[in-house]
Structure 1
Amino acid sequence: MKTIKGPAIFLAQFIGDDPPFDTLQGLAGWAAELGFTGVQLPTNHPHLFDLNQAAHSQTYCDEVAGQLAEHGLVITELSTHLQGQLVAVHPAYDSLFDQFAAPEMRGKPTARTEWAVNQLMAAAKASQRLGLTAHATFSGAFAWPYLYPWPQRPAGLIDEAFAELARRWRPVLDAFDEQGVDVCYELHPGEDLHDGVTFERFLAALDAHPRANILYDPSHFVLQQLDYLAFIDIYHQRIKAFHVKDAEFRPTGRQGVYGGYQDWQDRAGRFRSLGDGQIDFTAIFSKLTQYDYAGWAVLEWECALKHPQSGAAEGAQFIRQHIIRVADHAFDDFADSRLDPAQLSTLLGLGAKT
């Protein structure tokens, strides 16, 4: 078995206009001081990390890795969550998701999709230059507006959505395969890949592409009331990245999973800082360790109540306490009988072998 790596932190929620959150050096120093050893880098802030330059320049990648190493940090994965979202966008969300694209692509859905795909292609090359083996992203969505089957969905609608989703992602997955990097989809509300069933449908449309994998985030499963521990038992071979994020679900007589269009602090299901929610992380870390998960435990901080800096400081210690240092020998080795092979038959009452 392998010891899970960490603690690490996803920087997306902490980037800001004021020091130390406005530069990569500043963020690195802050994260290291809190006790993190790795950072998951978003790629939609060129002033922090220039994805296009990283795809074409080994020197640039070495410089970025060197800057982080000065603080005792490594890159765990690159993230293209926002760009991945734009690979597939239902027209109902065009104006909202336009803000995820480069300014010159806004209002141009076809050009925006091409730009997003090129961003993913660049991320494949940059990941390889940085020596990474996993990449974090979203799938995008065509079918999300039709999640609830009312009015009744026309026959073939969902099949067509997943066929097109697979068609758009296959060349991206092939590019990552050429670079030896797994694409890890965060199964997330708003994405066509949001649970095990949808991931399986996508995988079938891709002929079980070896680079189509999962970023495991139990918080999204709590909010949809999915068994997040059984999920690991079923899909552990495809889990190649891990967001450590807490959540709680407290339904009332007035609201449940759908949340009544309320703000985050008033929803029955809401994200919480690590340790403040309902998720059994002791069981999660045990299962991932049992199944030989070899990646990083990455804090993704989102909470409806707590200040982000408090959540980050507490999160580093929380993850460290949950990482299981695996044993190098069985706990009962002290009682090993140390019989030689010739004695085994005798032990079973079968007599000596001739």
Structure 2
Amino acid sequence: MKTIKGPAIFLAQFAGDAAPFDSLSGIARWAAGHGYKGVQIPSWDARLIDLRKAAESKTYCDEVKGILGEAGVELTELSTHLQGQLVAVHPTYDLAFDGFAAPQVRGNPQARQAWAVEQLMLAAQASRNLGLKAHATFSGALAWPFVYPWPQRPAGLVETAFGELAKRWRPILDAFDEAGVDLCYEIHPGEDLHDGITFEMFLERVGNHPRCNILYDPSHFLLQQLDYLAFIDIYRKRIRMFHVKDAEFNPSGRQGVYSGFQPWAERAGRFRSLGDGQVDFGGIFSKLTQYGFDGWAVLEWECCIKDSEQGAAEGAPFIASHLIKAVERAFDDFAASGIDEAANRVLLGLDR
């Protein structure tokens, strides 16, 4: 067994134009002040990191790590959630997702996709230069508009979508393999990879690629009513990253999983700050520790009720209280009798 590292925090929901959230040094000191030991950086936020420069300059990467070190934290991973989303976009969402892209490729889906792929390639090199072992992203989605089969999906539609998705991602996965970095897809509604089955479908089509792995976030599973503890049992060998995010699901006679187009605060399923929801983090930390997960426990704060500053302040001690120092010896070693192989054979009645 191994001990999970933490607590850490994903900076995407906290970066802003006002100090201390408008610079890497400022936000790193803020995170350290709340008790975090690591930070996960959104690669699309130029206030925090220059992705291209990180891909091209080891010296720049050393400067980034130096800034974090001076603040008292270390870099856990980079994220390309927004760029990964743009690797595969169904035309229904073209306008909605255009804002994720660089201004020069907006309104041009082909150019936008090429830009997104380049961003992922840069992220692979940047991760290597930064000495990282894992990277967070989204898969994007071609089939998501057809998730509920009405009208009935045409035969082969899903297979075609996943074949194309795999085709787009395979060169990126190869680039991450060359960089020695695991590419971890956050399994998330809205993405074609949104549960275990869809991950398996994709994994098969990329040839069980060794760098095709999972960012585990139980909040998205609770909102789908998926067994998030059993998920760890099944996919433990592919879980290489961990977002600590809480959620609750309170169905009524008026709404359930789909929640009737209501705003977050009015939905049956909604994200909450750590400890305010229904996720069994004791069970999760126990299983991940049992299976030898030694990555970072990273707070991703999203809550429809609580202020982000309060959520961040409460998050670090919450994660710290759930970290388990992995056992180094069996609890019953004190009762070991020291019997050797010969004695064992006698006990079994094999040598009489």
* TM-score using structure 2 length: 0.99
Task: Identify the residue that residue 294 of structure 1 maps to in structure 2.
Answer: 294
The 5-angstrom pairing of residues 32-71 of structure 1 reads: 32-71=32-71
Query: Displacement of 1:208 after TM fit?
Result: 0.6
Task: Identify the residue that residue 13 of structure 1 maps to in structure 2.
Answer: 13
- Secondary structure of 2:236's counterpart equals helix
- Secondary structure of 1:25's counterpart equals helix
Could you list the runs of 5+ residues in structure 2 that have no partner in the other structure? none
- Whichever residue aligns with residue 241 of structure 1, its letter is M
Question: Does residue 327 in structure 1 map to residue 327 in structure 2?
Answer: yes
Task: Identify the residue that residue 307 of structure 2 maps to in structure 1.
Answer: 307
Task: Identify the residue that residue 83 of structure 2 maps to in structure 1.
Answer: 83
- Whichever residue aligns with residue 156 of structure 2, its letter is G
Task: Identify the residue that residue 180 of structure 2 maps to in structure 1.
Answer: 180
Task: Identify the residue that residue 249 of structure 2 maps to in structure 1.
Answer: 249
Task: Identify the residue that residue 200 of structure 2 maps to in structure 1.
Answer: 200
The 5-angstrom pairing of residues 1-354 of structure 1 reads: 1-351=1-351
Query: Displacement of 1:45 after TM fit?
Result: 1.2
- Secondary structure of 1:70's counterpart equals helix
Rounded to whole Å, the distance in 2 between the matches of 1:151 and 1:339 is 68
Rounded to whole Å, the distance in 1 between the matches of 2:351 and 2:187 is 57
- Whichever residue aligns with residue 258 of structure 1, its letter is Y
Rounded to whole Å, the distance in 2 between the matches of 1:302 and 1:286 is 23
Rounded to whole Å, the distance in 1 between the matches of 2:216 and 2:299 is 12
Query: Displacement of 1:152 after TM fit?
Result: 0.7
Q: CA RMSD in A?
A: 0.8
Query: Displacement of 1:347 after TM fit?
Result: 2.4
- Whichever residue aligns with residue 193 of structure 1, its letter is L
- Secondary structure of 2:99's counterpart equals helix
Aligned residues: 352
Rounded to whole Å, the distance in 1 between the matches of 2:47 and 2:322 is 34
- Whichever residue aligns with residue 293 of structure 2, its letter is Y
- Whichever residue aligns with residue 100 of structure 2, its letter is F
**Preserved CA contact (<8 Å) 2:29 2:72:** no
* TM-score using structure 1 length: 0.98
Rounded to whole Å, the distance in 2 between the matches of 1:339 and 1:201 is 49
Identity %: 69
Rounded to whole Å, the distance in 2 between the matches of 1:319 and 1:16 is 24
Query: Displacement of 1:351 after TM fit?
Result: 2.9
Query: Displacement of 1:348 after TM fit?
Result: 2.4
Could you list the runs of 5+ residues in structure 1 that have no partner in the other structure? none
- Whichever residue aligns with residue 161 of structure 2, its letter is A
